[in-house]
């Protein structure tokens, strides 16, 4: 996990995402301190298993909006910060699609660990359903994920 974070979540990555026209980076704050963040990406699914699941579920070959990351600070769990971020994600997904001249709404999807029942429950409360599976490399260890798409 530490290798994955060092390789994919460095300050330079956040600087890139903040300036990228293909990404939207949202920050939640409480008392002028970071409380959580979310990252959206406009583009094609990166892996064949994701792409298959998305096409089968949506009838659309892309592009899509991927909810790449959404995290709340551990002290904010249960505070509503993650739900507030998710509401911002939905609004920003439409803005990101419009910025690329695409139809609105584009399918909004994510991948999360198949064993993370808490995360899946959170996503279901916000309109996501499981549409497939993928294998995902985190720091050299393969994980089984579910692919979820937001309905409405």
Q: What is the pLDDT of residue 1?
A: 58
Q: What is the pLDDT of residue 17?
A: 94
Residues of the chain with pLDDT under 50: none
Q: What does the alpha-carbon distance between residue 6 and residue 66 come to, in Å, rounded to a whole number? A: 22
pTM above 0.85, yes or no: yes
Q: Which long-range contacts (CB under 8 A, 24 or more apart) does 138-144 make?
A: 138/1, 138/4, 139/1, 139/2, 139/3, 139/4, 139/5, 139/7, 140/3, 143/113, 143/114, 144/113, 144/114, 144/115
Angle at 18 between CA 28 and CA 142, to 5 degrees: 85
Tokens of 81: 């910060």
Q: What is the pLDDT of residue 102?
A: 82
Q: What is the pLDDT of residue 84?
A: 96
Tokens of 112: 């999360």
Q: What is the pLDDT of residue 136?
A: 79
Q: What sign for the dihedral angle of Cα 81, 84, 88, 89? A: positive
Contact predicate 106/59, CB 8 Å: no
């Amino acid at each position: 996990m530490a290798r994955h974070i060092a390789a994919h979540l460095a300050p330079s990555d956040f600087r890139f995402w903040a300036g990228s026209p293909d990404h939207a980076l949202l920050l939640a704050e409480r008392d002028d301190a970071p409380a959580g963040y979310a990252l959206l990406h406009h583009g094609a699914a990166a892996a064949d298993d994701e792409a298959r699941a998305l096409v089968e579920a949506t009838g659309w070959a892309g592009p899509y909006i991927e909810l790449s990351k959404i995290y709340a600070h551990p002290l904010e769990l249960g505070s509503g910060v993650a739900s507030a971020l998710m509401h911002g994600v939905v609004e920003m997904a439409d803005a990101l699609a419009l910025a690329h001249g695409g139809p609105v709404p584009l399918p909004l999807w994510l991948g999360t660990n198949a064993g993370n029942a808490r995360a899946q429950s959170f996503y279901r409360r916000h309109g996501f359903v499981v549409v497939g599976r993928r294998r995902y490399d985190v720091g050299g260890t393969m994980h089984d994920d579910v692919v979820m798409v937001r309905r409405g």
